[in-house]
């Protein structure tokens, strides 16, 4: 089976933050940091705790999204999170995972 080698020791990610609040920018930085930690840790307890924290922070980002701040009285963030949980639940019990190829 072919193996992949890590060609770069770092990845630079640019995000247009013009329409984001300082809190949203901090959430992006935290998500990036937690994701990197989850992907690289080799400690079981740390893996589980960090994974849980990552999903919690992503949920917070969804709640703080600009779209969820509409004035029509509909709690879009709650609906979006419920939808995500349903899809995530389905994915957990399926044998196939979503794969993104470059």
Condensed to tens digits (0 to 9), the pLDDT of residues 18-61 reads 999 999 999 999 999 999 999 999 999 999 999 999 999 999 99
pLDDT-derived band at 94, boundaries 50, 70, 90: confident
Query: Measured between alpha carbons, how far is 99 from 102 in angstroms, rounded to an integer?
Result: 10
Domain regions of the chain by residue span: 22-92
Each residue of 68-80: pLDDT tens digit? 887 788 899 999 9
Query: Measured between alpha carbons, how far is 63 from 77 in angstroms, rounded to an integer?
Result: 5
At 93, is the secondary structure helix, strand, or coil?
A: coil
CA atoms within 13 A on the CB side of 44: 0
């Amino acid at each position: 089976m072919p193996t992949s080698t890590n060609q770069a020791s770092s990845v630079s990610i640019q995000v247009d933050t013009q329409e984001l609040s300082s809190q949203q920018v901090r959430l992006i930085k935290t998500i990036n940091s937690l994701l990197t930690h989850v992907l690289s840790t080799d400690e079981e307890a740390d893996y589980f705790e960090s994974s849980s924290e990552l999903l919690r922070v992503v949920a917070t980002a969804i709640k703080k999204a600009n779209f969820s701040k509409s004035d029509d009285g509909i709690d879009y963030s709650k609906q979006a999170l419920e939808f995500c949980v349903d899809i995530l639940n389905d994915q957990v019990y399926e044998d196939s995972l979503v794969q993104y190829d470059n």
